[in-house]
Every structure is written in structure tokens, then in C-alpha cells.
Amino acid sequence: MVRVAVDAMGGDRAPEINIDGALLALEKFPDLQVILCGPKALIESKLRGRKYDQSRLEIDDAPELVGMDEHPGKIVRNKPNSGVVRSAVLVRQQQADAALSAGNTGAAMAAALFKIGRISGVERPAIGVPLPVGRKFALLVDAGANADCRPNQLMQFAKMGSIYANQVLKVANPKVGLLNIGEEPEKGNELAKEAHNLLSSANNLNFIGNIEGRDIPAGTADVIVCDGFVGNIVLKLVEGMWKQFGQMLKEQIFTGFAGKCAGLTVKGRLDALKKGLDVSEIGGAVLLGIDGVYIISHGSSDAKAIMNAIRVAKESVQIGLIDRLKQNITL
């Protein structure tokens, strides 16, 4: 039985969406136990009348609420009884095997860092986000945890990302690419050039060299390595393009009588495309480098996304992700 602690009050539509996602996960995964961290009375009121296995759902009373604009460090210090902090504490105390939050990303990172701690040898934890590329996923790391990095930290991101892509995304011998402004080793700023040298000589790493922005949607690399400043821009750009692309398709194909008729003929293929780009299938981003499984979900997550984030947390525990990172991070 894998125990996942969920920050019940994290996200734009909390706690309803988190509760719905947790119940979906309990229904789908019989080897799962969920701990909802949030105001007990409120959560109990939302669960009233719902059908679920009560032996596999627990409430950890965490009455303090967290705003999206609050300072992460102050949240950890001043609101120890908030869901985001309690979920991390439960992992540290081994009362939960993994934690999940769709709330304040900075608070989630701070709670994981200060309450769970880093894996020995890891200089900085990084956010790894799976991006749909073609018919697969590529892991973008770092997606926003570290705006400024050193070359050795990028190499650690590459190693952790490669392990995650192999074990969780099921990619055999993942191809690792360093995001840069050109393919040649001498291109880019000093960080990129020094990181390229380190990655080229790294053991147990399938480094394919520099990749450019246009290589990301082509699926050239399975792991895309960059600092968090660049990574977060890439992530937000990709999210915006997905949304805009869907709107453009809708306007161009399903406008007018003729368009609607034509749209019906390709609806099946469009639905398949939509599913391939559905971020709710991803579930969430993993915080790599923390000495425990911690998943960060988007604030706009729906119940399906929360369910899949719980799934990712459960699978990460079951394959022993943290032990694998510990064994390989310094090699």
C-alpha cells in the first residue's frame, strides 16, 4: 500500500478538485492510500454522501490556509499547520511515502526542501516537467526552481532527469540534450559551454549535444536540460501555444455549416490529437533532488490531473526512484 499525502487546499478550485481526484485515484488503484491535508471539518463536509473506501482515506487536520502571493519561506515558518507543509512533514516522518501539491509552487518547493531535505550530493533540487512531443513525453529540467545555475548543477539535472525518464516515463537509454542557441559545442554563454564539456564527459549519460528550441517539439531529446529561468519560459510558451493551437483549430474547422460538416469527418483524429496534448494526462512535475517523492501540479489542474499526479507519485515510490537517484547522482 502506497501512502500519498495531498495538499487538499492547493490549487485554483480547492478542495473540491483535490478531493475528486483523490477519490478517482482510490477507485482506480487498489494499492493506494490517500491522506488529505487540510481543514478537517471542511474536508469531511465535502466527503459527506460520497462513496469511497474509508479505510484508505485519511484526513490530516491542517487548518492554516496559504495564498498564492505569500512568501514561500514565511509560509514554512509561520504556517506549519498548512496542507502544503504538513504533506511534506508526513513524508519526513515516514507517515506518507509521497506528497503532492497544486498550490503555491514556491511554498511546495520550500516545504519539500526544509521539511524533507535534499539527497546527499545534490546541490539544488530541480523541477522536471514532462512535455508532450509527438507520440511521447520529453522531460524539461529545470522548469523553474533555479534561475541561476552552475555547470555542475546542470549536469546533476541531466543525470536526475535521465533516471526519471528511464524509470517513470519508460524511455530506454534516454537521449539528453542541452538547450542552447546553436548545435555547435562552442555556441552559447559560458554556462552552456562549460556545461557542454561536463556533459560530454559524463558517465552513464546518453548526451546527444546541444539542441535548439525547434528540436523540442520534434522530440529530438528525451531529457531537455537548462537553467530554471530558460526552462520556465519554455514551459509557459509551450502551454500558451497548446491553448492557442486548440482555439485556432476550433475557429478554422468548426466555423459555418461547411466547416462543421468537414469537422465531423476529422473529429476522431482531432480527439486523438487533443488527448496526446492533454496536460492532465501528465499529472504533475516531479521535484528532483529531494530525499522523498514530491509532485507539484498545476494550479488549474482538474480532477483527472490530480488523479494522474497521484499515480505518478505512487509509481515513483514503487520503482524506488529516490534510491535510484541516490545511487547514480554522483557517478
What distances in angstroms separate CA 3 from CA 8, 18, 55, 189, one per listed residue?
A: 15, 15, 12, 44
Spatial contact of 225 and 126, defined as CB atoms under 8 Å apart? no
- Output the pLDDT for position 204: 86
Res. 128: pLDDT tops 90: yes
| CATH topology identical between 1-122+289-331 and 123-284 | yes
Residue written as grid cell 528540436: 215
Give 134's pLDDT tier (boundaries 50, 70, 90).
Answer: confident
Query: Who contacts 297 (Cβ-Cβ below 8 Å, separation ≥6)?
Result: 10, 11, 100, 101, 102, 283, 284, 285, 305, 306, 309
- Output the pLDDT for position 78: 95
Q: Which residues pair with 169 in a beta bridge?
A: none
**Is residue 177 within a helix (H) or strand (E), and if so which, with residue range?**
strand 175-179
The HSE-up count of residue 162 (CA atoms within 13 Å, CB side) is: 23
- Tell me the percentage of the chain whose pLDDT exceeds 70: 87
- Output the pLDDT for position 70: 86
- Output the pLDDT for position 262: 61
Q: Which three cell numbers stand for residue 253?
A: 474547422
Under DSSP, is residue 153 helix (H, G, I), strand (E, B) or coil?
helix
- Output the pLDDT for position 236: 87
Residue 242 CA to residue 221 CA, distance in Å, equals 20
Q: Which residues pair with 57 in a beta bridge?
A: 34
What distances in angstroms separate CA 222 from CA 19, 62, 313, one per listed residue?
A: 33, 39, 20
- Fold exhibited by the domain 1-122+289-331: Isopropylmalate Dehydrogenase (3.40.718)
Query: Who contacts 180 (Cβ-Cβ below 8 Å, separation ≥6)?
Result: 187, 188, 192, 196, 210, 211, 212
Give the mean pLDDT of the chain.
89
Give 69's pLDDT tier (boundaries 50, 70, 90).
Answer: confident
Assessment of whether the complete model's pTM goes beyond 0.95: no
- Output the pLDDT for position 67: 83
Least confident of 244-248, 299-303, 316-320: 244-248
Closest CA to 32 of 305, 297, 318: 318
Reported as a single tens digit per residue, the pLDDT across 1-59 is 999 999 999 999 999 999 999 999 999 999 999 999 999 999 999 999 999 999 999 99
Quote the longest CA-to-CA distance of the chain.
63
Residue 169 CA to residue 130 CA, distance in Å, equals 9
Closest CA to 129 of 226, 45, 58, 35: 226
Res. 146: pLDDT tops 80: yes
Which residue ranges make up each domain of the chain?
A: 1-122+289-331, 123-284
Reported as a single tens digit per residue, the pLDDT across 177-224 is 999 999 999 999 999 999 999 999 998 899 999 999 999 999 999 999
Residue 112 CA to residue 125 CA, distance in Å, equals 10
- Tell me the percentage of the chain whose pLDDT exceeds 90: 74
- Output the pLDDT for position 124: 93
Give 133's pLDDT tier (boundaries 50, 70, 90).
Answer: confident
Res. 113: pLDDT tops 60: yes
Give 168's pLDDT tier (boundaries 50, 70, 90).
Answer: confident
Q: Which CATH superfamily is domain 123-284 in?
A: Isopropylmalate Dehydrogenase (3.40.718.10)
Res. 171: pLDDT tops 60: yes
Res. 156: pLDDT tops 60: yes
* Sheet-wide strand order for 2-7: 57-61, 32-38, 2-7, 98-101, 293-296, 285-288, 126-133, 136-141, 223-225, 175-179, 206-211
Q: Which residues pair with 250 in a beta bridge?
A: none
Higher pLDDT, 255 or 190: 190
Reported as a single tens digit per residue, the pLDDT across 259-304 is 666 666 666 655 555 555 555 566 789 999 999 999 999 888 899 9
Closest CA to 167 of 291, 323, 319: 319
Asked whether the CA dihedral 80, 84, 86, 88 is positive or negative, the reply is negative
Q: Which residues pair with 290 in a beta bridge?
A: 118
Mean pLDDT of 221-231: 96
Residue 9 CA to residue 15 CA, distance in Å, equals 5
- Output the pLDDT for position 132: 84
Can you state the angle between helices 151-167 and 190-200, rounded to 10 degrees?
Answer: 50
Spatial contact of 280 and 309, defined as CB atoms under 8 Å apart? no
Q: Which three cell numbers stand for residue 63?
A: 487548518
Mean pLDDT of 72-98: 96
Give 84's pLDDT tier (boundaries 50, 70, 90).
Answer: very high
Q: Which three cell numbers stand for residue 250?
A: 476550433
Q: Which residues pair with 58 in a beta bridge?
A: 35
